[in-house]
Amino acid sequence: MPSSAQNHLEIQAFPGALSAYAPELLSMLNENRLCAPKHSFQVYLDGETLVIPGRVYYRAENLLTLAVNSQPSQAMALCLGTRHADGHVREACLRHLLTQSENWIAPYVIQLVGEYVIEIVQVIEQALPQLDQSIYARYLAQNPGHFATTARRVRSYWYCYYRDRYPVFENYPATRVLQAFGNMRDGIHWAQREGSCGGR
């Protein structure tokens, strides 16, 4: 892979409006990168396609140092940290990221719901009342495929690893979180239907 930060996969993980911040941030992160990002998934954000790494392999101390910098580079580092190979790093970055309100953090949070570390999902569940629901509603309305894939992964991980602990699928934390996000999504759809009915 070329050494220029502009050529790294991670630069595609953010909207074009952040392009001025991405090269410097990625250059610093990749100074001690252990290996290249693995896999990726595509989502859509207000007409733009974002390509987000499935896993990144930065040195944790380097990543967490950058995550305390000023906005928006802080939030960008935290987003990439939620894709880190170490689950403890993912959780640490998520806890800080959940206090942010930029619309481009939504896919990173949603992706974690469909992964296997239940402690991370429980952090999201605890934070649900504080989230900006309009951001997640808008994102999910634009990305039904991502939501559907997340739902399939939730059921798969429950079936493989958590059926004994949560015999009722509806009581599984990721199921509850998914339902909450579905309610957010349906809320924006309902508002659109109400608006389309017109008035006197």
Q: How confident is the model at residue 91 (pLDDT cuts 50, 70, 90)?
A: very high
Q: Domain limits at 10?
A: 1-97
The answer, yes or no, to whether residue 24 has pLDDT greater than 80, is no
Q: How confident is the model at residue 68 (pLDDT cuts 50, 70, 90)?
A: confident
Question: Model-level pTM?
Answer: 0.87
Q: Are 155 and 183 in a shared domain?
A: yes
Q: Are 131 and 195 in a shared domain?
A: yes
Give the mean pLDDT of 89-112.
95
Among 97, 130, 149, the domain boundary falls at: 97
Give the mean pLDDT of 101-113.
96
The answer, yes or no, to whether residue 108 has pLDDT greater than 90, is yes
> What's the total number of domains in the chain?
2
Q: Are 76 and 119 in a shared domain?
A: no
DSSP notation for the chain: --SSGGGSGGGGGS-GGGTTTHHHHHHHHHTT-SS--EEEEEEEETTEEEEEEEEB---HHHHHHHTTSSTTHHHHHHHHHTTBSSHHHHHHHHHHHTT---GGGHHHHHHHHTSS-HHHHHHHHHHGGGS-HHHHHHHHHH-HHHHHHHHHHHHHHIIIIITTT-SSGGGSHHHHHHHHHHHHHHHHHHHHHHHHT---
Q: Which of 4-8, 51-55, 116-120, 156-160 has the lowest mean pLDDT?
A: 4-8
pLDDT for position 192: 45
Q: Are 21 and 55 in a shared domain?
A: yes
pLDDT tens digits for range 132-187: 999 999 999 999 999 999 999 999 999 999 999 999 999 999 999 999 999 999 98
